[in-house]
Amino acid sequence: MKTPTAGNGSRPGSPQGGRGHFYVAVGVLAVAAVGFHVSKRALGVVLVKSPVPPPARVERQDQRLTSFPETFGHYRLVADGELDRDKDGKPVKDGVPDGIQEYRHEQLGELDITNHPMNWYYSARFVDTQAGPPRLFHINVTYYTGTLDAVPHVAEICIAAGGGKVLDADSGEMPVDVPGAAAPWDRFEVRRIAYGLHGKDGRPILDRRGEPIKSAEYYVFSMNGRPTCSRAEVRRKLAWPLNKYCYYAKVQIAPLQPEPTLAEQDAVCREFLRHAVPVVLGFLPSAQDVEALTRADGS
């Protein structure tokens, strides 16, 4: 009696039969791969994001922005020797404005700034030159591009990580008007993160009335040229498969001395943002710039 054979002339379970199944599987995978790439191209799906070059006016040194103006509105960069003092209280001058803050290399890594050569940061302290009590503000701008899986750093996480107490009831969105700015930057929302001030012993610092002293930090993102104060929205848009060119920048400010109330602090920070944001936008690609890159690429 002859042993039954498979339709291709090989016995079931024989090496020849196994190779047949292998070739079929390879063929299916090849067809699927071709179909995936054809579909991806037809739908405009982008898995690897292309970087958005910053404007030509962005001048950097070790990824620190060096071309930001020293004055805008009624604010100026803190001068050399204005804040730094020696043990006797005398000004310390080193030829660099005290307002300029430079990150160490390890800090650049922690903030993911070194992930792409086009990334940059600016961190500085400005003083209000108007009459009245001196007010100091810290402004921090970070620019990220050429990345997909980004996790934007936000104040609420950094404050908590540093042992601070975020006051959820006093935190939230705050509207800011910038007269004269082009839409949508003429009116947008920043996120206010309020927190209580604590001493080295961990106890709340109280004012003259015995009330806990509160302060806050304020931030907004430029996601491909459009404002948002939602970290989740930034991540969604970075991951959106139809967006080929992507960047985001975070603009964050904080007063160096708290005002008597959060409402008063909101007011002085709104005023600072009204003058600072138009200047910052000059160093960021606009939404139209990103759209032009996409059109030129044919995407």
CA nearest 278: which of 222, 228, 217, 216?
A: 222
23 with 131, same domain?
no
| pLDDT of amino acid 213 | 83
Confidence of residue 9 (pLDDT cuts 50, 70, 90): very low
pLDDT in tens, 131-185: 888 899 999 999 999 875 566 677 766 776 666 788 899 999 999 999 989 999 9
Residue 212 has pLDDT above 90, yes or no: no
Confidence of residue 188 (pLDDT cuts 50, 70, 90): very high
User: Whole-number mean pLDDT of the chain?
Assistant: 84
pLDDT in tens, 89-105: 899 999 999 999 999 99
125 with 141, same domain?
yes
Residue 28 has pLDDT above 60, yes or no: no
54 with 144, same domain?
yes
141 with 219, same domain?
yes
14 with 155, same domain?
no
208 with 281, same domain?
yes
20 with 80, same domain?
no
Which domain covers residue 8, as residue numbers?
Answer: 1-43
Confidence of residue 243 (pLDDT cuts 50, 70, 90): confident
Which range, of 69-83, 174-188, 229-243, averages the lowest pLDDT? 229-243
164 with 227, same domain?
yes
Overall domain count for the chain: 2
